Structures are given as C-alpha cells and as structure tokens.
Amino acid sequence: CCTVFDARKQPGGMLRYGVPKKQLPTEVLDKEIALIEKLGVKFQVKTQIGTDLSLEDLRRDFDAVFVAVGQLKPGDAESMGIEANPNGITVKGKTYQTNLQGVFAGGDAVHKRRLAIRAVADGKEAAVSISQYLSGCSVTGPVKEFNTHIGKLRDGEIENFLACADKAERTSPANLGLDQNPPLAGSGKNGGFTDRQARKEATRCLHCDCRKADTCKLKQYARDG
C-alpha cells in the first residue's frame, strides 16, 4: 500500500497551487490523480510532515519513504536527520537514496530546478530504486538498456542530415518577436501558440533518435537472448 501525505486540503502540490489554471486546468489534474487512486494509492491531506507526522513515524509505519516536499528551508532536512547541501537533500546519484536507510528523496527537495516535468521524472526513477530496495536487490536505479539517440555528427554529415529536411520558418506567438526570449511561465506576458501554430511549429522538429525505439524487434531479440 502506498500513501501520499499532503499538507494542503487537496492533493497535487505545486501542480495545483503553483501553476496557473490556464496552463494546467484543475479538471485535468483531478483526472490524473483519480487514475493514481485507482491503482490503490491513498492520499492523506492536511498532514504536515514535521508537525503532524515525523519522519521517524513514517519510517516506523512504512517499508520505504520518498521525500518530495518541495524546496526546503535551511536546516529542515538536518532536523529530520537527513544530510543536505546548498541545493537541497543529498542523494546517492540516480538511486535517490539519502543517508537514512529506506528514505529516498527527489524533486525540488533535492535540486532547485523548479521544473514540474523534472520532479515527475524524479518520482518515476525513484520508484525503480524503491522497488529494488523492497525486493532486496542491489539499489542501482534505472538502467538504460539501449541508447537510441543519434551519434555525434562528423564533418559533412550534418549537411547530409539536413538535405532530407524541408526548410520551414520558425513560428512565434503574435506578441513575441523572434529576437525576444520567452517570458517566465505564469507571467501572463505570452499567450502561447494557437493550435494551428503549435502544429506548424512541431513539423520543424528534426528527429535525432530511432523512430521505432519502442517497437524495435532487434531490442526485443536482445532481451529474449
């Protein structure tokens, strides 16, 4: 059983309370959370770690703990017995392990990137490490079996690579010039692309990896062997 403790009235963290609803509608977030609940995950809201529950309580009641509480204040991690550095909680490489046995950490609690997609990726990768830990295996974190990205292009190869591409002008939102940097997310200074503009801009993408990375028979044969 997995339980997510949230200090707020509703689950979702910064995705609910820190991202403008125009960028992430509440109903979209609620549907994603509902899917997680269907997997058997329980959400316990209005529960502040350090006030309502201590880390020791969690370590006693659960086989593993993942700390994803957002950016910590100086001294917060140390008060829980977790080693930290100027950026946040100290973890062992891609295993997301802290100095405390069975305690893992990720997201803004570890680094100050403040990117939701990076925090979500941390959770996904940490889940692999936690599974390894609970299974009694060596905790190594995710292992990338295959590299499907294109290698570094040598002299002359970039020209050959681009020869097959159709030239297309860059598309910019109407209120953002080509020589301007995009404003910060949530600043309200840029409405973003229209659906038509987004589709047009997406056609400019140069694929730099294998187009069949997820359906490659050679990869399947390698695993079966």
pLDDT tens digit sequence for 79-117: 999 999 999 999 998 999 999 999 999 999 999 877 888
Provide the 10 A C-beta neighbour count for residue 144.
7
pLDDT for res 167: 80
Average pLDDT score, the chain = 86
Residue 139 within any structural domain of the chain: no
Residue 151 within any structural domain of the chain: no
Instruction: Estimate to the nearest angstrom the gap between the alpha carbon of 115 and the chain centroid.
Output: 8
Residue 225 within any structural domain of the chain: no
Q: Are 99 and 83 in contact (CB under 8 A)?
A: yes
pLDDT for res 104: 98
Q: What is the CATH number of the domain that holds 88?
A: 3.50.50.60
**Percent of the chain residues past pLDDT 90, beyond the cut:** 50
Residue 41 within any structural domain of the chain: yes
- Burial-class residue 181 by CB neighbours within 10 Å (0-12, 13-18, 19+): exposed
Residues near 182 by beta carbon (within 8 Å), at least 6 away in sequence: 176, 190
> What is the C-alpha to C-alpha distance for residues 152 and 140, in angstroms, rounded to an integer?
28
Residue 137: pLDDT above 50? yes
The alpha-helical segments, DSSP class H, found in 52-141 are: 55-61, 76-79, 116-134
Question: What stretch of H or E contains 44?
Answer: strand 42-44
Quote the number of domains for the chain: 1
pLDDT tens digits for range 21-71 = 988 999 999 999 999 999 999 999 999 988 899 999 999 999 999 999 998
Residue 178: pLDDT above 70? no
How many H helices and E strands in the chain? 8, 6
Place of tokens 């056609």: 203
pLDDT-derived band of residue 185, with 50, 70 and 90 as boundaries? very low
Expressed as residue numbers, the domain containing 33 is 3-134
Report the amino acid identity of residue 186.
G
Residue 89 within any structural domain of the chain: yes
SS3 string of 189-205? CCCCCCHHHHHHHHCCC
Residue 36 within any structural domain of the chain: yes
| Residues paired with residue 43 on neighbouring β-strands, in sequence order | 4
pLDDT-derived band of residue 175, with 50, 70 and 90 as boundaries? low
Residue 75 within any structural domain of the chain: yes
